[in-house]
Amino acid sequence: MKPIICITGDNKSNDDLPSCAVYRKYIEVVIEGTRGIPWVLPPDEGILDDVEQVISKVDGILLTGSLSNIEPHHYQGPDSASGTLHDPERDALTLPLIEKAIEQKVPVLGICRGFQELNVAMGGSLCQNVHELPEMLDHRDNHQFSEDIRYGPSHEITIEPGGILEKSVGLEPQQVNSLHCQGINHLGDRLFVEARAPDGLIEAISVNDIDGFALAIQWHPEWEFQKNRFYLTIIQLFGDACHSHVMSRVDYRQ
């Protein structure tokens, strides 16, 4: 049996009509990278009462990147700058979804916004504009360049010993892309720092006290992951955890 992997969707506008969508690259991660079946979860507060049922039916949660930011009231932060894109319904759904997934040991992989969601769900806070802090790099996306440049290597990360990444790829520094303005301010409870950027910014985290898989990364490994061994390794680790979850389900054993 293939694992069913929940992909968090975004609220978008399509021809001025309200829509729910995910980028195709995340679907490819599930189909090609994890050998799973994608299930797009729409960001609608009407599903909130059914989060536990959702968790009982899936074998993994892929928290996608997005143009929107988490509303700062979820981490007691200052108001966002004028014009900041938010998706309050996604916030309302993904934060409790993460808590329930970790409680039920459903594998989680967070990417960019998903990285920030995991930190906030675990009680952490965010810095909304990392580039404004002294001695910090400018981690933002630059839309003046082509996708190949924007999603290409931007900076090195240092992998911390004792985590999921060190056990999988060792301590050799890796090159990653960078397309974000926010970053972790206060690290959430039960979280382990997996990697840092050259300026010290946390780039990867995991939940360190569970018998399961919960990893989140600030960069975008979904970009041409078939050609990047490091990115592919991360996706395969998630896929392996999802396949193991299938095997552990009672209805499968029966």
Q: What is the rounded distance in angstroms from the CA atom of residue 20 to the CA atom of residue 232? A: 27
Q: What is the rounded distance in angstroms from the CA atom of residue 211 to the CA atom of residue 215? A: 13
Residue 31 three-state SS: helix
Buried b (16+ CB within 10 A) or exposed e, 48-58: eeebeebbeeb
- Which H helix or E strand runs over 247? helix 229-248
Q: How many CB atoms lie within 10 A of CB 61?
A: 28
Helix axes 88-103, 113-121, angle to 10 degrees: 60
- The verdict on whether 73 is a catalytic residue reads no
Choice among 6, 203, 222, 242 that is catalytic? 222
- The verdict on whether 6 is a catalytic residue reads no
Provide the terminal-to-terminal Cα distance of the chain, rounded to the nearest Å. 13
Choice among 220, 242, 243, 245 that is catalytic? 220
Residue 23 three-state SS: coil
Q: What is the rounded distance in angstroms from the CA atom of residue 218 to the CA atom of residue 182? A: 9
Q: What is the rounded distance in angstroms from the CA atom of residue 18 to the CA atom of residue 212? A: 36
Strand pairing partners for 214?
Answer: 108
- The verdict on whether 32 is a catalytic residue reads no
Residue in this structure with the two tokens 């509303």, named with its chain if needed = 71
Give the residue numbers marked as catalytic: 112, 220, 222
